[in-house]
Amino acid sequence: MKTRVGAITDDEARFVEVYGRFARPIEAYCARRTPASQVADAVSDIFVVAWRRIDQIPAGDEALPWLYGVAYRVLSHQWRHNARSRKLIERLRGLAEVEDCAPEVLLVRNEEHRVVLAASARLKPVDQEILRLTLWEELSHADVAVVLGIEPTAVKQRAYRARLNLADEYRRLTGERQPPAARKGGGS
């Protein structure tokens, strides 16, 4: 619709409102998952997609999970691109490892946090994302379902398993045994 109010089209007004309300949570989402040097480009890409699909953005607060869904896809593409680039660089330079400059590596000072993030990195990517969305973005299972494009019941089941697996991987990394009662308190 191209109704003009003064010099503002409905689409522009809607975009500006969405950008104003949600740019910072989206930037935080990106900063939690990608190197600082790539955050601005990622945010720009996400809002370009939002502009292109402005008439599909849900009203009100429901726009945020929708935008997270776009962000998830944009960053997934970026990760695949980075992985390909890394392999190419390794081949060219003959390096065994390329420095990981992910924000968690740069920012996390606490050894326990480093280990728990390493443990999470051993989970399936979608399970990692479910943990991040529920525990860092504090989304409900229904909103996580919107982000990932899967059923809420599947999110609930995966979230439960992801929590158990995270704890298992953490204990594996730290050499701890699973306490007898640990499962009882896990992954509600």
Partner 1 sequence: MITDDQVVALFAKANPVPSLDLIDPIEPVSPGHLEDPSERSREMTDLKTVESKDASRRRRSWLVPAFAGIAIVVGLAVVPAWDRGPASPQDVADAYMEARQDLDTEAITGLFAPDATVREDDFDLSEMPALIEFWRATGWDWTPTGCTEISSGPAYNAFTCGYEFENDWTRALDHPPVTGGITLFIGGDEISQITSLTSNIDRTQLNDVWRAVIAWMTANHPDDTRTMYTDDMSRPELHPAAIALWERYTDEYVAEIEG
Q: What is the length of the chain?
A: 188
Closer of 51 and 95 to partner 1 (Cβ): 51
Among the listed residues 35, 15, 13, the one whose alpha carbon sits nearest the alpha carbon of residue 23: 15
Residue from 37, 93, 97, 110 in contact with partner 1 (CB under 8 A): 110
Site for partner 1 in 82-101 (CB under 8 A): none
Least CB distance to partner 1 at residue 77 (A): 5
Residue from 130, 131, 139, 155 in contact with partner 1 (CB under 8 A): 131
Site for partner 1 in 138-157 (CB under 8 A): 149
Closer of 31 and 154 to partner 1 (Cβ): 31
Closer of 152 and 186 to partner 1 (Cβ): 186
Closer of 89 and 107 to partner 1 (Cβ): 107
Among the listed residues 174, 33, 27, the one whose alpha carbon sits nearest the alpha carbon of residue 107: 33
What one-character-per-residue DSSP string does 65-102 give?
A: HHHHHHHHHHHHHHHHHHHHHHHHHHHHHT-S------
d(CA 183, CA 187): 8
Kindly indicate which of the ranges 67-75, 87-95, 150-158 contains the residues binding partner 1, using the contact rule CB under 8 A.
67-75
Residue with tokens 């089209």: 9
Site for partner 1 in 20-59 (CB under 8 A): 20-21, 23-25, 27-28, 31-32, 40-41, 44-45, 47-49, 51-54, 56, 59
Closer of 126 and 164 to partner 1 (Cβ): 164
Residue from 58, 136, 157, 172 in contact with partner 1 (CB under 8 A): 136
Query: Would you say 119 and 170 are in contact if contact means Cβ atoms under 8 Å apart?
Result: yes
Residue from 103, 126, 152, 156 in contact with partner 1 (CB under 8 A): 103
Query: Would you say 126 and 144 are in contact if contact means Cβ atoms under 8 Å apart?
Result: no
CA 138 to chain centre: 12
Closer of 62 and 95 to partner 1 (Cβ): 62
Please report, for the chain, how many H helices and E strands are present, in that order.
9, 2
d(CA 46, CA 61): 17
